[in-house]
Structure 1
Amino acid sequence: MPRKPGITDDYMITLYKKGTSFKVMKEISGLSDRAIRNILYKHKIEMNREQYSGQPRKYSVNEHFFKTWTHEMAWVLGLFVTDGCVNQTNSISFAQKDERILRMIAKHMDAENNIIPPSSTRNISTLIINSKILKNDLKNLGILSNKSRTVKFPEVPDVYLPSFVRGVIDGDGWVQKTGYVMNVTSASNKFALELLKVFQKWKLRSEIKTETTKNGKEIYRIWVKGKETLPELANIIYNNAGESYVYIKRERMTIHSGPKSNQIDFS
């Protein structure tokens, strides 16, 4: 099996030392069992029988996390819809450049800090959580593997919708540094249209544009525009946020909020 781009020996060793099972390592790397064993042998890494047999080491996690709506659950779900992965094995994973966000996810889910750091060829960190129950609960919420073009907007209770949207923006959102525009990119037409409806429901100046990638596939950008509009969006999504947000995006979104004395304290 060909090794996927960016997968180095050091990265595979890091995965292994983090307790990742061979099944998950195969999926991440594209390598066979034998090829993974050869890497470990070559670097004189002692193998754990449970990992080799496909049984990951046991990491604690709240396996009922996605069963009950909370602001923390809604935010994590928004991040997962955009930056998460349902693996073929009984595991899920989150990928983020900002490792603080992964630590926050692990904290909310009562999960051990099983974060794989970036390597010389990969500039993002990954949080891997092994749980068949979590995977099934995400399925019940309509989130499956290979979801990028088919994912639907989940049925989020109105009270938790701002936290979910904050997670979506933290995952696939971009905020202009001058604070005039924000957009979320999605490969799913259904998801994009429903997100647009949410922004319109909140009476925000918003629109959707379709673009075609170099390989001929369509993507959708949902825009919120205006120096008055972005602070309005911030007033909605950062209520009940605590520390669960990407700092730079909130900072840019609130540039035009006016004097600090007139701003809402969301912390």
Structure 2
Amino acid sequence: MRFRIVTLLLAFLALAHPVQAQEKAIERPDWEKHFAAFDATGTIVVADERAKAGATLVYDDKRARKRYSPASTFKIPHTLFALDAGVVRDEFQKFRWDGVARSFAAHNQDQDLRSAMRTSAVWVYQGFAKEIGEDRARDYLAKLNYGNADPAVQQGDYWIDGKLAISAYEQIGFLKNLYRNALPFRIEHQRLVKDVMIVEAGRDWILRAKTGWEGRMGWWVGWVEWPSGPVFFALNIDTPNRMADLHKREAIVRAVLRTLEALPG
């Protein structure tokens, strides 16, 4: 009981100041070259917590403070909501395809948590949202202090088409708490979410991340785990060419991380 109380207290304190890192961020104007290489406009925040680093770095601090729709990066907290609400049991539960043909072929089949996260299967999370409901979603968002915590929407999905918005700095704050199992959710649920976020791994590192795309802008957020500590990142860019711009998200982040030796080349 005492352990649970201490855990909840630490989670509360962590969530009370989710974006303190922005006060100490070091500007990296030289990272402009990575955006220019892909003819992209955007921002990136990197919080390097490896033992010999311990710095928060940013390209375009002003934009990093601006809130945007989280789009499919919201699948990270949304999965926590679904697990907590009992909408999904575990990573093995199957979600039967509804037979509606969608533009992305990988969505036109049964899904589980891992595939829904990997392929960003929106229809699975639309089902979660329907079962959770707006009132409970609002409570969860407030509990997390997630961006503006507003799930209101006139039409469509609130994490894409609604008022919900979050900044790159706030994404970093949320990811740090998830990494430390410091969110106000069951630890086993936080560990499961981190497991289904794995993109790739090497002998001594793991990359956990999620893309997002709202139509006009796109995200890539996550972290690289090393024995010496994690390196968190949150990038967003404008996508005037829509799908033709989507590859730029990961390419820019990878280029930045490689300059920090935070990702193998």
The answer to which structure, 1 or 2, has the higher relative contact order (CA under 8 A, 6+ apart) is 2
TM over 0.5: no
- Between Structure 1 and Structure 2, whose CA radius of gyration is higher? 1
TM-score by length of structure 2 reads: 0.29
TM-score by length of structure 1 reads: 0.29
